[in-house]
Amino acid sequence: MIRFVYKQLAYAVVLILSGVIALGVAVAVKGGFRMYAWELLATFFACQVLMGFVSTSRLKKLGDIPTFEAAVPIADPATALSAPVRARARRSLGGSYGAMFALSIVVVTVLALFEPIAALLNCTLAVDPLMRAERAARWERRQGVLLWQGHVEQDQRPADTGQAPVFTSPRRAGRAGAVGAPSGSP
């Protein structure tokens, strides 16, 4: 199980790092950009912002909010979330995002050697997951829960919203800014 917010942030980091590395290689080998590339970059960035707004909306099958609302509480959060945070993150993100990072660096670098703007276009792909992470964090704070994605063995499953199932767990009390955290002195 991995928090929805962390999964989106990891995806954005993979996209940005692969784009920056490819850009460095392409500029070192090929040189700068042509003037038309900036207009293409601005258009692509605007499209990514639009996609980010769609993915953080209430649209069924497209937006995240119906998925969050369909999330069910984890039956036994102590057992399901008992593995150390780093071990869960390594298991959830290490294999899939590590392979995606390696493949992305190779593909984007090859494309950037032909046209360096490809590396910056890859970086703009991070806009959507960053917007989704922000929306999920805000939703978690308002609802007083944490959103999790992954496999949980329990009877109750979230309703099918067209996306990966999302589960919730209550926020832990005692953390700064957490719901139910004590305020003031003892």
Amino acid, single-letter form, for residue 174: G
pLDDT tens digits along 158-185: 556 556 677 777 777 544 444 443 334 3
- Output Rg (C-alpha) for the chain, integer angstroms: 19
The pLDDT-based confidence of 106 (bands split at 50, 70, 90) is: very high
pLDDT of residue 134: 94
Above 80 in pLDDT, residue 94? Answer: no
Altogether, the residues listed in the chain come to a count of 186
> Does residue 63 or residue 181 have the better pLDDT?
63
> Does residue 20 or residue 89 have the better pLDDT?
20
CA 10 to chain centre: 6
Which residues lie closer than 8 Å to 6 by C-beta, 6 or more apart? 89, 93
Encoded tokens for 121: 């276009």
pLDDT of residue 69: 85
Q: Which of 9-18, 100-109, 163-172 has the lowest mean pLDDT?
A: 163-172
